[in-house]
Amino acid sequence: MTEYNFPKDFWWGSAASGPQTEGHVAGDGKGDSIWDVWFKEAPDKFFDGVGPDKTSQFMKYFKEDIQLMKQTGHNTFRTSIQWSRLIPDGTGAVNAQAVEFYNQVIDELLATGIEPFMNLYHFDMPAKLQEEGGWLNRETVDAYVKFAETCFDLFGDRVKKWFTHNEPIVPVEAGYLYQFHYPLHVSFKEAVQVGFHENLASAMAIEKYHATYDGQIGIILNLTPSYPRDENNPADVSASEYADAFFNRSFLDPAVLGHFPEKLIEVVQDLNIVPEMLPGDLQIIAENHVDLLGVNYYQPRRVKAKVSKKVAGSPVMPDDYFDNYEMPGRKMNPYRGWEIYEKGIYDILKNLKENYGNIECYISENGMGVEGEEKFRGENGEIQDDYRIEFVKEHLKYVHQAIGEGSNCRGYHMWTCMDNWSWTNAYKNRYGFISVELDHDGRRTIKKSGHWFKTVADSAGFTD
């Protein structure tokens, strides 16, 4: 038996987002986001036709939910402020009901001894701004900075940990390359512009925050380590470096180091898709770094040198620089189709220590989506999710090892607290410590993993 002891002040908790949990309440004044619009246009794209209107009804149940957080060991919890709830059209008047709602959530969390971590953008562009081009439009950057300042002004007296974006690469790849988020475009040029504007918006919000407020501000990135098929094959290694530059370093380097990676610059210059920018933009990025980095980790990316032929006439894509590699014998989460590779979390933390000044960080998402979890509900009504306990434990062991070797990792947040609405997958795969039964008006029950996590948080570790 080995003891895995974590620092006494380690952050134990989970992450969620406004659009995936809150739901709509009649007359709440919320404006539409791209998700509301897309769902109205194409409900069949969403698993079982379940849209963003209902979700887990956190708006209705937040008081009870925060008590459940306490019962599952949370000392911290991350969610997001929905831009389209706070400022319904993205740029105009503030919605007083939204202010009241987020105030109540923040106050309730603090009164329960749970520190709120607040994110500002979680894939949820206000519809009105998307009509004007969303992140492609420079004016969105200014609107975002105003939104960020409004949030700091309204809630910054109590919220001391802010994040500018969750997984900003996702709007780039999902919205402008691979068509799994609105607006479903395919354009490397647009993708680069979107990524640039998100980076700039983040740096500008950080600048404002540092000028006036005393907490910490960071960014949450899904760092997906790129492993070459063969470390001794230079072509595989080079392919994995391209994938790393596109999907990790495109945000990690500017956020922490203040500049873009060489490989990315090379590609956008070669392809003549350098984003439009104003004089001084790069300076803003160079001078305004994050204080704290959230690391979302689900799966590795395995890469080999490009061999597949490009279909004539197909658009230029990042994938022209590498092929994905299916490693024989890899361990899979069959429901989500993602590889489970626990050591990846250690490799990320080590990379941050060695190449990113050992920036203060925490695991801001890690988790296992499972379809059909109801079949694991035991006679006592509790879901017996031993697989999730195993998943978390095996990742925590590597986090523990990294900390032992000097990593500045301060906490671990599971995705997610209670089962929530996962974009087009809706409620297909369940991730929570707490189950939500849609057929019973969102009835909540703590799963076995939730009770287990409380014991881990209470004793700041576990034995295995």
Which residues does the annotation mark as catalytic? 167, 365
Asked if 55 is part of the footprint of ligand BGP (rule: CB under 6 A), the reply reads no
302 contributes a contact to ligand BGP by CB under 6 A: no
Enumerate residues 390-419 that contact ligand BGP by CB under 6 A.
415
Per the CB < 8 A criterion, the answer to whether 235 and 305 are in contact is: yes
Interacting residues with ligand BGP between 205 and 224 (CB under 6 A): 222
Structure tokens at 58: 């956190």
Nearer to ligand BGP among residue 57 and residue 364 (C-beta): 364
Which of 4, 13, 14, 17 is the binder for ligand BGP (CB under 6 A)?
17
Using the minimum distance from each CB to ligand BGP, give the nearer residue, 112 or 425. 425
> What CA–CA distance (Å, rounded) separates 125 from 90?
8
Q: Which is nearer to ligand BGP, 169 or 349 (CB)?
A: 169
CA distance 387 to 368: 9
150-158, 260-268, 312-320, 422-430 -> range binding ligand BGP (CB under 6 A): 422-430
Determine, following the binding rule CB under 6 A, whether residue 171 of this chain makes contact with ligand BGP.
Answer: no
Concatenating the DSSP letter of every residue in 430-450 gives E--SEEEEGGGTTEEEE-HHH
Measuring CA to CA, which residue among 95, 219, 125, 208 is closest to residue 166? 219
Contact between 336 and ligand BGP by CB under 6 A: the answer reads: yes
* Distance (Å, whole) CA 138 – CA 79: 26
Distance of alpha carbon 49 from alpha carbon 40, whole angstroms: 10
Q: Is residue 79 near ligand BGP by the rule CB under 6 A? A: no
Verify binding: residue 166, ligand BGP, rule CB under 6 A: yes
CB of 392 to ligand BGP, least distance (A): 15
Q: Does 344 bind ligand BGP (CB under 6 A)?
A: no
When asked if residue 425 is in the footprint of ligand BGP (CB under 6 A), the reply is: yes
* Both tokens assigned to 424: 């087009």
Q: Among residues 80 and 407, whose Cβ is nearest to ligand BGP?
A: 80
Alpha helices in 245-295 (DSSP H): 250-252, 262-270, 281-287
Residue nearest to ligand BGP (CB): 422
Ranges assigned E (strand) in 99-168: 115-119, 161-166
CB of 172 to ligand BGP, least distance (A): 13
> Is residue 167 a contact residue for ligand BGP (CB under 6 A)?
yes
Contacts of 200 (CB under 8 A, 6+ apart): 141, 277, 281, 284, 285
Q: How many residues bind ligand BGP (CB under 6 A)?
A: 14
One-letter amino acid at 83 equals W
Q: Is 423 in the site for ligand BGP (CB under 6 A)?
A: yes
CB of 6 to ligand BGP, least distance (A): 24
- How many whole angstroms separate alpha carbon 265 and alpha carbon 275? 10
CA dist., res. 230 & res. 222, Å (int)? 24
The residue among 246 and 462 lying less far from ligand BGP, judged by its C-beta, is 246
Interface map 117-156 toward ligand BGP (x if CB under 6 A): ----------------------------------------
Closer by beta carbon to ligand BGP, 431 or else 462: 431
Q: Considering the complex, what minimum distance in angstroms separates the CB of residue 166 from ligand BGP?
A: 5
Interface mask toward ligand BGP for 250-289; x: CB under 6 A: ----------------------------------------
Give CA separation, 336 vs 277, 281, 362, 428, in Å. Answer: 38, 39, 24, 9
Closest CA to 412 of 94, 75, 132: 75
- What whole-number distance in Å separates Cα of residue 307 and Cα of residue 229? 13
Residues at the contact surface with ligand BGP, assessed by CB under 6 A? 17, 20, 166-167, 222, 296, 336, 365, 369, 415, 422-423, 425, 429
